[in-house]
Amino acid sequence: MTRIATLDVLRGFALCGILPANLVPIAQVPPPPDGVALNLLVDQRFFPIFAFLFGVGFTLFLDGSARRHPRPRLLLVRRLAALAVLGALHHLGQPGEALLPYAVCGLVVLLPASYLPRAVALAAGLAATAASLAVTQGGIGLIPGMFLLGLAASRYGLPYRLDSLGRPLAVAFALFLAAAVPAVAWQWSEVELTGFSLSGAVAGLLMAGAYVTGLALLMRTRLAPGLEAVFAPLGRLALTNYLGATLLVLGAARLAGLATWGHVLGLAALVLAVQWLFSVLWLRSFPAGPLEWCWRRVTWWGRPLTHRPASEVRG
């Protein structure tokens, strides 16, 4: 399956944003007293992006595997079952982790929805998202809606048409940004309830939309090579880096406390720097990350990932 650079960049960008949000619960320390910026710029902003991208990736994988396997949905059942096992293990270190809910929701929601017409999937995604905001104030309840919206986006061919969607992306970015400003002001007015409020969930979704469309626009400019160099390695090893961050944070938390927002940002920057360097070096020799390879191996029962000389690896 041909890689789409913008999707890799979005995954890497989302990974950078979700790590600071997860740092405090992973390390099991009280939230920093000066962490308002975390609430307004990070919390509930990147989780929807990951869920949306999972729906996109699910559909791209299904469509691609259908050209090579007579039973592509069987592959997806294996893929989701393996993800559930990883999520269950990851839950031991991070009780709020997302992989297990993703796997369950993928089996219960995405697999059946893959038979739906794209317009129906889009309507179902919008309805599920609205219902989540009304009933659960976002959080894990957003997963079905974001999954369905990602599925619908793929069915409409949006991932492959990003290079030709300059004006629609600009309009979408402007609308998301215009709506996010009053939503963030609303959240600010009750910031002490962040994580448990409708205002935080609404602001998070709108800012997530602004982040995605804004970054997709920047990928159409001269900044694209730089953005790809910074974020794509992290995004290509998203599963390895997501799980690896928990181990790194648990180890670092034993050595240093997270008493301030500065400590949170500092540790997040250190972890991401280590992961970026590892990702770049790994991709010089291998086409996929170690856990990505394991996941693919279980999915396809295929041949193991082999070492490739650096001269044969693009980038």
pLDDT, tens digit (0-9, with 9 covering 90-100), for 201-216: 899 999 999 999 999 9
Categorize the per-residue pLDDT at 310 as very low, low, confident or very high, splitting at 50, 70 and 90. Answer: very low
Say whether 246 sits in a helix, a strand or coil: helix
Full domain range(s) for residue 197: 5-303
| Per-residue confidence (pLDDT) for residue 212, from 0 to 100 | 95
Q: Is the pLDDT at 262 greater than 80, yes or no?
A: no
In a domain, 266, yes or no: yes
Say whether 106 sits in a helix, a strand or coil: helix
Handedness of CA 236, 226, 98, 30 (dihedral sign): positive
Say whether 10 sits in a helix, a strand or coil: helix
Q: Is the pLDDT at 229 greater than 90, yes or no?
A: yes
Regarding pTM above 0.85, the answer is yes
| Per-residue confidence (pLDDT) for residue 272, from 0 to 100 | 94
In a domain, 315, yes or no: no
In a domain, 229, yes or no: yes
Q: Is the pLDDT at 124 greater than 90, yes or no?
A: yes
- What Rg value do the Cα atoms of the chain yield, rounded? 19
Categorize the per-residue pLDDT at 195 as very low, low, confident or very high, splitting at 50, 70 and 90. Answer: low
Q: Is the pLDDT at 24 greater than 80, yes or no?
A: no
Give 69 or 221, the one with higher predicted confidence. Answer: 221
| Per-residue confidence (pLDDT) for residue 225, from 0 to 100 | 95
What value does the mean pLDDT take over residues 106-111? 94
| Per-residue confidence (pLDDT) for residue 66, from 0 to 100 | 85
| Per-residue confidence (pLDDT) for residue 205, from 0 to 100 | 94
Name the percent of the chain in helix, strand, coil, to the closest 5.
75, 0, 25
Categorize the per-residue pLDDT at 305 as very low, low, confident or very high, splitting at 50, 70 and 90. Answer: very low
In a domain, 116, yes or no: yes
- Other Cβ atoms closer than 10 A to 311: 6
Q: Is the pLDDT at 180 greater than 80, yes or no?
A: yes
| Per-residue confidence (pLDDT) for residue 139, from 0 to 100 | 81
Q: What confidence tens digit (pLDDT) does each residue in 144-176 have? A: 999 999 999 999 999 988 888 889 999 999 999
In a domain, 163, yes or no: yes
In a domain, 308, yes or no: no
Categorize the per-residue pLDDT at 193 as very low, low, confident or very high, splitting at 50, 70 and 90. Answer: low
Q: CA angle 100-142-152, nearest 5°? A: 95
In a domain, 314, yes or no: no
How many distinct structural domains can be found in the chain? 1
In a domain, 312, yes or no: no
